[in-house]
Amino acid sequence: MPSVVTPAAIEAAYPLIRPHIRETPIVEVAAGDFGLAGAPITFKLEFLQVSGTFKARGAFYNLLTRGEKGQGVVAASGGNHGAAVAYAAQQLGRQAHIFVPEISSPAKIAKIREYGADVHIGGATYAEALEASRAWVARTGDMPVHAYDQPETIIGQGTTGLELQRQAPDIDSVLVAVGGGGLIGGIAAYYAGSTKVIGVEPETAPTLHAALGAGQPVDVKVTGLAADSLGARRLGATVFPIAKVCVADALLVGDADIRAAQEALWDVLRVVVEPGGAAAFAALLSGRYRPRPDERVAVLLCGANTTAVDFG
């Protein structure tokens, strides 16, 4: 593995963060319930994680292994990473400063504030928020926690794959949404080729697809429905060598596919996930990914920080 992000590192991280996170469940659903053919689909319900997304795993691993007690922490985020870092900081007695772009959803900003963090609007895009966070770190000496391009973040996210492998050891492939690549980097590193790992990203934010095509991370234009969670401008440099070796494919889905996946998950499972959280399933539902008739597919439902639900 061309990285410090290894199966052994992920195995070692899990007992450290386990007291602070939830082991999220899986549910097996007949493909026919969604109008699809083939073997049952295994969903990993990671949107039930503390703070609403998988990102709590990487946040806790960072804060438990880096920095000094009481040192402030800083993160740039479309919303989910910021909420996770804010939650971890609150639980561990550290002050968080979260830089978000103007496109962040009110639900995510409210969640960050709920966890006691200071919220800073850092520009129109995630990239601008990241630059603003770096200026803060240079001025204050607080500890930065990168959303995806940092080994500790990727190792923490890789524990999602560890749990899934223990819960569903017979799966053949797993579909994972991609923004900057921290989640797929960790999961792909953990499986290390033993299970097919496929990235799914919006057509309007194709960071992994573009990187694999160019042979290196490159900037892409980011727009679309899932931009606040899958809106990184380029794939993480730490993620790329893992993806090049351990990710089988990078598929693109449209905003209409993502919305249809959100609606189908509500209709069939009565679960509400945000657009980024539904992206991986969108590849299966839309036919962008066509498994073999007997292929056992797992789908990561990775986030639910949204207000797009009416309980009337």
Task: Choose among 83, 80, 85, 44: nearest CA to 61.
Answer: 85
Quick check: is 78 in a domain?
yes
Quick check: is 271 in a domain?
yes
Quick check: is 210 in a domain?
yes
Please tell me whether residues 182 and 93 are part of one structural domain.
Answer: no
**The pair of three-digit structure tokens given for residue 149, joined into one six-digit string:** 């391009």
Please tell me whether residues 108 and 254 are part of one structural domain.
Answer: no
Please tell me whether residues 194 and 280 are part of one structural domain.
Answer: yes
Q: Helices 255-269 and 275-285 sit at what angle, rounded to 10 degrees?
A: 90
User: Greater confidence, 308 or 90?
Assistant: 90
Please tell me whether residues 131 and 272 are part of one structural domain.
Answer: no
Please tell me whether residues 164 and 250 are part of one structural domain.
Answer: yes
Please tell me whether residues 164 and 246 are part of one structural domain.
Answer: yes
pLDDT, mean of residues 78-96: 94
Could you read off the pLDDT of 166-191 as tens digits, one per residue?
999 999 999 999 999 999 999 999 99
**124 CB-near residues (< 8 Å, 6+ apart):** 101, 102, 103
Q: How confident is the model at residue 104 (pLDDT cuts 50, 70, 90)?
A: confident
Q: Helices 55-65 and 182-191 sit at what angle, rounded to 10 degrees?
A: 80
Low-confidence winner among 29-33, 60-64, 75-79 (lowest mean pLDDT): 75-79
What is the dihedral sign for C-alpha 60, 61, 62, 66?
Answer: positive
Quick check: is 157 in a domain?
yes
Q: How confident is the model at residue 2 (pLDDT cuts 50, 70, 90)?
A: very low
User: Would the pLDDT of 261 be above 50?
Assistant: yes
Q: What pLDDT is recorded for position 125?
A: 83
Please tell me whether residues 154 and 47 are part of one structural domain.
Answer: yes
- Using alpha carbons only, give the angle 127, 226, 82 rounded to the nearest 5 degrees: 55
Please tell me whether residues 283 and 192 are part of one structural domain.
Answer: yes
Please tell me whether residues 25 and 137 are part of one structural domain.
Answer: no
How is residue 47 annotated by DSSP?
G
Could you read off the pLDDT of 198-249 as tens digits, one per residue?
999 999 999 999 999 999 999 998 888 887 778 788 999 999 999 999 999 9
Please tell me whether residues 102 and 245 are part of one structural domain.
Answer: no
Structural domain containing residue 182: 7-54+150-301
Domain boundary at 96, 117, 144, which?
A: 144
The CATH number assigned to the domain holding 113 equals 3.40.50.1100
Strand partners, 42: 28, 298
State the total domains in the chain. 2
Please tell me whether residues 201 and 279 are part of one structural domain.
Answer: yes
Quick check: is 306 in a domain?
no
Please tell me whether residues 79 and 198 are part of one structural domain.
Answer: no
Domain boundary at 144, 162, 182, which?
A: 144
**The pair of three-digit structure tokens given for residue 104, joined into one six-digit string:** 């962040």
Domain boundary at 144, 175, 195, which?
A: 144
